Amino acid sequence: MAKGTILGHPTGLFILFFTELWERFSYYGMRAILVLYLTAETTDKINPGLGWTSKEALALYGWYGMFVYFTGIFGGAIADNWLGQKKSVLLGGIFIILGQFSLAVESMTAFYSGLFLLVIGVGLLKPNISTMVGSLYKSGDARRDSGFTIFYIGINIGAVLAPLIVGYYGEMVDWHLGFSLAGFGMILGQIVYVFGGKYLKGIGDLFKKSAEHAHLASQPLSKIEKDRMLVMFISFLIVMVFWAAYEQAGGLMNLYARDKIDRVVLGYEIPTSFFQSLHALYVVILGAPMAYFWVKWRKSGRESSSLFKMGIGSIIMSFGFVALMGAAYDVSESVLNQAPVYWLFLSYFLHVVAELSISPVALSFITKLAPMKYASLMMGTYFAVTGLGNKLAGILGEAAQDAGEMAIFTGISVFSILLGFLILIFVKKLKALTHGAEEVEHPATFVEPE
Ligand code: GLN
């Protein structure tokens, strides 16, 4: 194994892995208790909340979910123009720590300030840390995609742990203790980031700073760069539809699991909230085998472009909703108005196979295609699109209250499969717009830390 690598990847990857693991622990921990805290009775003797109605709480949750990603655009622009990605991540982490501890203070001003700080913090950190992962690999390095999968597994380890730890202490002991624990998570992330800095030399610095780059940055985009921007925006369409479907999990599917799924297995009733960790758990389990599968697939000489994977992902997502249609059918046929739990396990499994074909793939794709001077902005725009997908998910979930679940599940399934096939049909043309950005040139090269 070459010096400076772990599992054949640059050591810096694992610094970013652990930083993001703890950032996501903080993010998903807070998210796990937010709605519960808002709706808990103010008169509760042990752990009083804010006493909001479910509708008010879900509305705030929806807006928060959108803004927290939407500000990625600003986070990206700030990194490209003023700070570089490395400093933006550090600053974002500080905002997140302040935000979580602000939520831990019992006052409405502190509460809203906390949300505001988190929105800014995540906007600064999330897109920029993802761009830094891409910068660890030279263009044409075959390991870039699997590097992003490893990074994505880290994200989801944080997401599995968070509801268990922050959720448990927040809900059972004290909401404010929960928010503090989320803050401590981010402190751990910052410690890893600062002390691991030596493995990130030359990664995420301000691109426009050097004289040669300043000249390059002021150039108008070339035809190739414009084509690449276009194909990225087309891929964003898949991304938005995907997240609108996937994020049903936290809202509509959460209620569906509670009310319409028979969750008793071997005499034990699986708590509804367990299904909130299931996605992340599946990612941790399936991430490595899926990455291995795609490497083998590529080596066998078959079509393996990012767009192809994303098209396949969209089709698999559609199957995930066919499984939910199965559940909705069983509900309509059963006397108890309930469906067996295997539909949910199967459906979430398919959602995650789709996620692994789309989400880390899209991150990697952007780092291959974005012009240097817009590297962070494009990543920020990607996260903004996922934020819009989140909001759309909420709107679809609300629509299901009138239209019924079967109609919404069918609609999502049909839309996803059509989009997926459309991408596969045009994959050659779309690939031409990338102008060879995905061609693998150097099977094992990476940027050595200076
Ligand atoms: N679940 C992933 C994460 O938290 C992706 C989120 C997204 O792209 N909106 O990083």
pLDDT exceeds 60 at position 2: no
Please tell me the total count of domains within the chain: 1
Position 450 in a domain? no
Residue type, 340: P
Cα dist from 347 to 93, 176, 316, 327, whole Å: 34, 34, 10, 10
Q: 304-321, pLDDT tens digit by residue?
A: 899 999 999 999 999 999
pLDDT exceeds 60 at position 214: yes
Structure confidence at residue 58 (pLDDT): 82
CB 341 within 8 A of CB 261: yes
Q: Is 236 in the pocket of ligand 1 (CB under 6 A)?
A: no
Q: Atom 3 in ligand 1: which residue has the minimum CA distance?
A: 155
> Ligand 1 pocket: which of 161, 386, 391, 392 to mutate (most atoms <8 Å of CB)?
386
Domain span including residue 73:
14-206+222-432
Structure confidence at residue 213 (pLDDT): 63
Position 214 in a domain? no
Position 442 in a domain? no
Q: Atom 7 in ligand 1: which residue has the minimum CA distance?
A: 386
Distance, in Å, from the CA atom of 123 to the CA atom of 104, rounded to the nearest integer, reads: 21
Position 98 in a domain? yes
Task: Pull the structure tokens for residue 431.
Answer: 């690939």
CB 72 within 8 A of CB 126: yes
Task: Give the residue with greater pLDDT, 438 vs 362.
Answer: 362
pLDDT exceeds 90 at position 238: yes
- Ligand 1 centre to CA of 155 (Å) is 8
Structure confidence at residue 151 (pLDDT): 96
Position 362 in a domain? yes
φ and ψ of 55, to 5 deg:
-65, -45
Position 27 in a domain? yes
CATH number at 409 reads: 1.20.1250.20
- Per-chain mean pLDDT for the chain: 90
Distance, in Å, from the CA atom of 60 to the CA atom of 71, rounded to the nearest integer, reads: 16
Position 217 in a domain? no
pLDDT exceeds 60 at position 355: yes
pLDDT exceeds 60 at position 395: yes
pLDDT exceeds 70 at position 202: yes
Position 112 in a domain? yes
Structure confidence at residue 209 (pLDDT): 60
Report the predicted TM-score, pTM, of the whole model to 2 decimal places. Answer: 0.90
